[in-house]
A and B are shown apart, each in its own frame.
Chain A
Amino acid sequence: MPEQAIERVEAPEIGERMERALLPSGLMVQVLPKPGFAKKYATFATHYGGLDSSFQVPGESGRTDVPDGIAHFLEHQLFAEEDGDAMDRFSRLGAGSNAFTTHTSTTYLFSTSEHFEEALGILLDFVQHPYFTEAGVQKERGIILQEIRMYQDDPRWQIDFQLRQALYVRHPFRLDVAGTPDSIRQITRDLLERCYRTFYHPSNMVLTVVGDVDPRRVVDQVAEDQARRGLRAQVPIRRFRPEEPDRIGRKRVEKRMPVARPWVAVGFKERGGAAEGLAAFRRELATSLLLELLFGRGSDFYASAYEEGLIDGSFGSGYNGDEDFGMSVVEGETDEPERLVERVLEAVEETRRRGVDPDRFEALRKKVLGGLVQELDSPESLAYMANEAYFHGHTLFDSFAVARELRLEEVEERLRGHLDPDFHAVSLVLPEGRA
């Protein structure tokens, strides 16, 4: 086997580097060396998440539609093996393993200080070697049902879910990544296999290692694994998303739960259309900065609303979006949800009239940059950021460059184009028995 070429990407200004190789199978391997770290952290991720329930299998002409929750169900099911469970194999090496599913990706991971190569072998093996049985699928359904129930009791989760339901009419961003008790009952072994074959092709995946490891050895080990499996790179998978109308679905969704006080969130729908590559990250960063400027702890809004007792430390804001969907969320616990919503909208209107204060923009740009540097101490966030960057066609370090170059005009643009009061919705969780 010829030696696999490795590309080295340097970011000397933050003291980091990455070595990476695109293998003939289509799999990208990224290694971020972290000298001195005991932990070696590896992720194997597929660009396949809760949104992908309608797609075209490469080589087929028709369109395939499947019940919701399969990506997440696969995440559970892949750990099953002929003679036990992949998690146990990691455990026997002392390694901890886990997995998680988002709207757009599924990530398998392990963390270990010893026996790294063996653990990497297990990761490569179990993710690429599905073992589905009717009994296994049946058992996993019960566990997933409990997972869904656990989230249903969590008011923060409920608020977010309701908001997506309100803002979006058709786009699957409005759904629970785990599916519903009904949709998971429809998931069969055959469906799992079909989705697995489509989305777990190496061309749709990335393997990232963060830790004190030798990049050459990692790349060689993965390249050898891929050569053995004999898969060749394939074309990208076509995914279908329903046309999302340029309006919101409902102005307001509420639910009563056993909580102490009302919890309210105001959400603004992403309307910018699909953002590709670095543009999606730029948009996210500019929006986060904008929200910090409007609603962060240093904002006029926070100062006055806090003084009045309208909000407390639970208040916060954030942006959640990617490609063709997204929302800004401003939320918190309050005794006066109606007034808080009104005040949030007023603050948006007022800033839209006045524009962004250049001094605050500059201070918050520093905060964004400092925050990214702090992320460098977390192998988990580094790996996650590196994977997301790859799925969007750039590298982790481009993200730092974007933060350094962020301009006031981009933030202004997000203020005008995205934080539009005509495209807001309200999500409420109210205490039981409240009139």
Chain B
Amino acid sequence: MTGEAGEFVARRLSSGIPFYFLPTGKFRSLRLSLFFLRDLRPESVTETALLPEVLIRGSRRHPDLRAVHRRLDELYGADLAVNVQKHGEAESVGWHLDLPEERYLQGGEGLTGQALDFLAEMVLEPYMEEGRLSARYVDQEKVNLARRQQALINEKGRYSLLRCIEAMFAGEPYALSKWGRPEDLPGIDAERLSASFRELLASAPRVLIGVGQGPVDRIEAELERRLERLRPEALKPLEGTRAAEPRGGQPRVVTEEQPVAQGKLVLGFRTGVQIGDPDYDPLVVANGVLGGFSHSKLFRNVREKASLAYYAYSFLDASKGVAFIQAGIEPPDYHRALQIVLEQVEAVKRGEVSDEELETTKLRLFNQLRESTDSPDALIHQALEETLWGIRRSLPERLEAIARVGREDLVRAFQRVELDTIYYLTATGQKEALGLA
């Protein structure tokens, strides 16, 4: 039993699936994720969104939700989820098993094997009728997905971010939400969804990633036997994601009114800097200085000095080369908040970054990187992203890259950043009052 979380061990199952496993004694549960990867495209995004909802409905031996969940209850509350994640202009469909380690459970002997049987059954033998996914399940989940698409409006912060992204990348794949498009749903039936599923198994690039006590040989052998049939016919490599290069010109302003108590301000930036770009690490540091932490300029000036917001932060999506700032403000405070936010952006561009801001940011980033090794989810996500972008760096390498960033690197990287879109969701009647109508 190893105490320290080290690096992932790389293996390959005989069906060709790359298998990354991190053996560590520190966790009390086993996490295992099987990902299939697809390009994010308008013609497939909605069926990809629908697929997990139908697949989790049942398997050959556990044909409905009740049977599936009763099985999971018996497996000591093991969790099995199927979901979609967006990674730049690609997306993944992932089966995620989260299982308490059997040695800590009275009467838990054999639990791991049983849970892996169930995982394999859910992946390889979803519930079918006449060789197709159940038309009833498909119809029900179309309704549920349509509702979920509408429900995005309920969470104002996330909704505002999605609207900003839509405005920035209209007509491009990155504008697509992982929940798909309402207008596609009527055209999807059991036949089409089954074809999409077959294609996923036959040709989507795939990877298995796990974290747990191991030993890795035993887990590999257990998986090998169960996933033998998961041999692809011909892999279809991903096309990759184009960086969001600055387009020049004035930022666009998009406003919307709803009867809300708090206004949501979102600023979208094009950075042109993706993972692997020499400016990537400098931009990570620049973002930290601007709005990644509680000592950052945004938190300090928008919240602490001006008392204008409860939250004000920035973050990067380096898969696409974009950055965003989000703040929740009193609806009439738009102009004042925007001005303070933009002043902070300009200050970073001019290199007005104190030694303390720079050092503190680096220390916070070091901590974040180290602490991410304590979260199985974060470890698996990191390993998946490394697979997607084909860039593998050890923890010491990543720490070193951050340590090397100097003020001039940060300024050079941040000067590439261009404000593209200002989105503001405000209270009813405020647009006119603010001169935004």
> Which A residues are within 8 Å of any B CB, using their own CB?
13-15, 34-39, 85, 87-88, 91-97, 111-114, 139-140, 142-147, 149-150, 152-155, 257-261, 296-300, 302-303, 306-307, 309, 312-314, 333, 360, 363-364, 366-371, 373-374, 376-377, 379, 404, 432
Contacts and interface: CB of A to CB of B under 8 A. Distances in A.
A431 B105 CA distance: 46
Counting from the closest, the 4 A-B pairs by CB-CB distance are A94-B363, A370-B76, A367-B77, A36-B26
B374 interface: yes
B104 A94 contact: no
A377 B363 contact: no
A250 B68 CA distance: 38
B114 interface: no
B3 interface: yes
A376 B28 contact: yes
A38 B370 contact: yes
Contacts of B347: none
Interface in B352-369: 356, 359-360, 362-364, 366-368
Contacts of B65: 297, 302-303, 306
Interface of B: 2-5, 24-29, 53, 64-66, 68-70, 72-78, 98-101, 103-106, 140, 143-144, 147-148, 150-156, 258-262, 293-295, 303-304, 307-311, 328-330, 356, 359-360, 362-364, 366-368, 370-371, 373-374, 376
B3 A36 contact: yes
A142 B98 CA distance: 42
Given A92-B363, A377-B29, A146 B310 contact: yes
Nearest to B365: A94
A74 B104 CA distance: 40
Contact of B367 (A114, A363, A370): A114
A85 B74 CA distance: 50
Contact of B100 (A96, A261, A309, A374): A374
Contacts of B144: 309, 312-313
Nearest to A15: B104
Contact of A260 (B73, B147, B262, B359): B147
Contact of B69 (A114, A296, A313, A379): A296
A371 B106 contact: no
A307 B367 contact: no
**Max count, chain B CB within 10 A of own CB: residue among A36, A92, A369:** A36
Contact of A153 (B98, B261, B356): B261
Given A37-B374, A314-B151, A298 B28 contact: no
B99 to A, nearest CB: 8
B73 to A, nearest CB: 4
Contacts of A94: 360, 362-364, 366-367
A96 B364 contact: yes
A377 B28 contact: yes
B294 A91 contact: yes
A91 B66 contact: no
A314 B144 CA distance: 10
Contacts of B295: 87-88, 91-92
B328 A35 contact: no
A93 B147 contact: no
Contacts of A112: 367
Given A36-B3, A143-B310, A373-B104, A368 B77 contact: yes
Contact of A15 (B3, B28, B153, B308): B28
Contact of A333 (B5, B151, B329): B151
B229 to A, nearest CB: 28
B212 to A, nearest CB: 10
A114 B364 CA distance: 10
Contact of B262 (A37, A149, A312, A371): A149
Contacts of A333: 147, 151
B140 A369 contact: no
6 contacts: A36-B24, A95-B367, A153-B261, A298-B73, A370-B77, A371-B77
Given A300-B66, A303-B66, A364-B73, A91 B147 contact: no
Contacts of A377: 27-29, 376
B66 A298 contact: yes
B26 A37 contact: yes
**Max count, chain A CB within 10 A of own CB: residue among B105, B366, B368:** B105
Contacts of A34: 26
A91 B26 contact: no
Nearest to B257: A258
**Max count, chain A CB within 10 A of own CB: residue among B68, B260, B262:** B262
Contacts of B360: 88, 91-92, 94
B374 A39 contact: yes
A258 B72 CA distance: 36
Contacts of A296: 69, 73
B292 to A, nearest CB: 11
A35 B153 contact: no
Given A85-B304, A113-B366, A363 B371 contact: no
A155 B258 CA distance: 14
A39 B368 CA distance: 9
Given A85-B304, A259-B153, A14 B28 contact: yes
B310 A147 contact: yes
B70 A93 contact: no
A150 B366 contact: no
Nearest to A40: B371
B150 A298 contact: no
A373 B105 contact: yes
B422 to A, nearest CB: 20
Nearest to A11: B104
A38 B375 CA distance: 10
A261 B150 contact: yes
Contacts of B99: 370
Given A309-B140, A370-B78, A373-B101, A35 B356 contact: no
Contacts of B329: 146
A369 B364 contact: no
Contacts of A93: 363
**Max count, chain B CB within 10 A of own CB: residue among A97, A258, A296:** A258
B76 A369 contact: yes
A112 B367 CA distance: 6
Contacts of B330: 145-146, 149
Contacts of A371: 77, 100
Nearest to A97: B294
A64 B26 CA distance: 48
Contacts of A36: 2-5, 24-26
A366 B74 contact: yes
Contact of A150 (B29, B262, B307, B374): B262
